[in-house]
Amino acid sequence: MAIVELDPLVREFTAKERPMLIGGEWVPAMSGNTFETYDPSTGEVLAHVAEGDKADIDRAVKAARRAFDEGPWGKLTPSERGRLVHRIGDLIMEHADELATLETLDNGKPFAVAKAADIPLSADLFWYMSGWATKLDGRTTEPHVPYKPGSEWHAYTRREPVGVVGQIIPWNFPLLMAAWKLGPALSCGNAVVLKPAEQTPLSVLRLGELILEAGIPPGVVNIVPGYGETAGAALAAHPDVDKVAFTGSTEVGKLIVEAAAGNLKKVSLELGGKSPNIVFPDADMEKAIPGAAMATFFNHGQCCIAGTRLFVQKSAFDDVVAGVADHAKSLKVGPGMAEDTDMGPLVSKEQFERVTAYLQKGATEGARAVAGGRALERPGYFVEPTLLVDTEPDMSIWREEIFGPVLAATPFDDLDELARQANDTPYGLGAGVWTQDISKAHKLAKLLKAGTVYVNTYNIFPAEMPFGGYKESGWGREMGPEVLESYTETKSVICEL
């Protein structure tokens, strides 16, 4: 098993206790506390990181407020601001190997995947969003005011930054989720306090160093690692935060909404999913079978939009199930830094226990594993890619988000009932359709209650396209022009001439 050689900069980075970024300075937690982050491929301690709490969040929010209200950030032209944001993307690519290694060590994902997907997608997000800095246009109009006949008016709108934004990101795509949040917030002119997930803070802290190197003024971006129940809760509830953006579980998203109610701050949420993935007999099976497998097994199944409910038309069910099972069995499960690894470990012991508990529950409920179905007996948090059949719509493995490499399959026959069955979930983040009948694909895309519908593909995340969900999968959209609404306020200016 060949192991990718560790970048010397990564060795140096993980060997030192990592502080937090507040006001342009790298500082320890006010309490002096640190927490450990672990290598999920071994379960061993990887690094020690400053543990932020309510006091550190308050310090960071004050720094962001000063930077927004008094610092040079608001005096930059949109073109100048956009060039700084673009430079962040450049620096990400210049440090691609280092960042991919940190992402792999901290999260467990294969190095090759991190370098080929996470890193360039993160850079591209900053590049794309940087262009919007100069395009936050208002509009002009000549309003009609019935009760002032003969009057003349000049009216226009302005797009202005919200202010201080609190951002809380998950552990499944640490660097990319930071980019999704920071790119639009900065391009719109906001100041940010970002809390990375406690399981995976390292690549985000390294990104903080690159943000300073790019020339973003002190206090515009503050990074406070810590636990959700302390640092995250304090950020969501802070009275001087104007908006909070959260990506994570639906359960925690509801707590964020409650915490934000104190000052009615704006809230955007990208939450859980239990996405349907539908295969018709006329699909190109050379694409559909591995596509249906990787719709769940990509990123070890730790993907909110994962197509974890597989619907296959009855006449093709046995063949598709056999093909997906063979694909699952062919995946090499191992450490992310091993060159031949297709799927790495789950991110943490907690997630490992959650996923294995669902496997046990599924077996108890009567589901049958035709591939996988168990944990691997080795150090680290490894679970086999699993395909379950004999599923029923009331089973927990069918209805609840597992967030692991567990795919449940069921046959369907009645096309009129298909959309209803696919939509029978509290979530609405994604969906997939595999067919060569383009009319059928577009009809289903209209009927499926999901923020993204993939046709003959899956797990594509272009910066130009909005991403978000219906129902309990969230509020608002990430990426695309649509995300700008989350980070700006619209002001009307009305002048009587």
Catalytic residues: 270, 304
Are 106 and 201 contacting, i.e. CB atoms less than 8 angstroms apart? yes
Task: Transcribe 201-268 into DSSP letters.
Answer: -HHHHHHHHHHHHHTPPTTSEEE--B-IIIIIHHHHH-TT--EEEEES-HHHHHHHHHHHTTTT-EEE
Distances (CA, A) of 4 to 47, 200, 342, 382: 19, 20, 14, 19
- Cβ neighbors of 69 (< 8 A, separation 6 or more) are none
CB 95 within 8 A of CB 209: no
Angstrom distance (rounded) from CA 261 to CA 257: 6
Do 46 and 105 contact (CB within 8 A), yes or no? Answer: yes
- Contact yes or no for 177/247 (Cβ under 8 A): yes
C-alpha distances (whole Å) from 380 to each of 11, 165, 351 are 20, 36, 12
460, exposed or middle or buried, with CB in 10 Å at 0-12, 13-18, 19+? exposed
Are 219 and 64 a contacting pair, CB within 8 Å?
yes
Alpha helices in 349-430 (DSSP H): 349-365, 396-399, 415-422
Q: Can you give the C-alpha Rg of the chain in angstroms?
A: 24
Q: Where are the beta strands (DSSP E) in 327-404?
A: 368-371, 386-389
Strands (E), 115-163: 140-141, 153-161
Q: Where are the alpha helices (DSSP H) in 133-220?
A: 174-187, 202-214
Six-digit token string for 205: 């802290």
> Residue 312 and residue 411: Cα distance in Å, rounded?
5
Which 3 state secondary structure label does DSSP give 200?
A: coil
Give the DSSP letter string of 410-446.
Answer: EEE--HHHHHHHHT-SSEESEEEEE-S-HHHHHHHHH
C-alpha–C-alpha distance, residues 309 and 397, integer Å: 9
Q: Which helix (H) or strand (E) holds 496?
A: strand 488-496
Pairing of strands 427-428, 243-247: unpaired
